Amino acid sequence: MVRMAKTGKLFVISAPSGTGKTTLCKKLFKALPNLVRSISVTTRSLRDGEQNNREYFFVDEKDFKESLSKGYFLEYAKVFDNYYGTPREFVEKNLKQNNDVVLAIDVQGAMQVMKNFRSQSEFIFILPPTINDLRERLLSRHTETEIQIQHRLAAAKKEMSYVKKYDHQIINDNLEEAFKKLLSIINRGSCKI
């Protein structure tokens, strides 16, 4: 009998913009420091409080497209006029080393990962309580114009149509409750526990 080498688990977390994915992931990494956080490459501008090589690897569009042509990305997507991509080698190396890796990516990217890594992945979708709640959250960030918020809400509705393709759905109507559910899913699915 051939025995398969044990590999880590890939946890893919998606959510519409403003749903609390970043906040939940920060809490997750604090609670489970052995989880490996994959840092995406993006062409978007830094926001206040962000640092290059911490939240994202910030590059220009030319560099992103060059990396894309060389097969550098496990998945990539263009979201709101900016490109985002996950470095393939980093993820594959960590999985081979039996490390559990978390990708916080959009639906487009998650669908790409589903095609290639379905058997060693769990897919988690974070939902807002309602579209009106999402709108209020986006307004409270003070980072987008009204037109940008309308685009994000339209995109959120489209993204939420994919929710049934995910293994788990969490409604973030209470941050602590949503975090407990997320933590439980990760703990149950982890290769380390």
Which two three-digit tokens encode residue 6? 């044990």
Q: Would you list the domain boundaries of the chain?
A: 10-189
Confidence band for 85, pLDDT divided at 50, 70 and 90? very high
The strand pairing partners of 171, in sequence order, are: 127
pLDDT for residue 83 is more than 80: yes
| pLDDT at position 3 over 50 | no
Three-state DSSP class for residue 24? helix
pTM value is 0.86
Q: Sign of the CA dihedral 165, 168, 173, 175? A: negative
Q: If you average pLDDT over residues 171-182, what whole number do you get?
A: 96
pLDDT tens for 11-28 read 999 999 889 998 999 999
Tokens 């992945």, located at residue? 121
The class that CATH gives domain 10-189 is alpha beta
> Given pLDDT bands bounded at 50, 70 and 90, which one contains residue 1?
very low
Q: List pLDDT tens digits, range 100-150.
A: 999 999 999 999 999 988 888 999 999 999 988 888 888 888 788 889 889
Is 179 in contact with 28 (CB distance < 8 Å)? yes
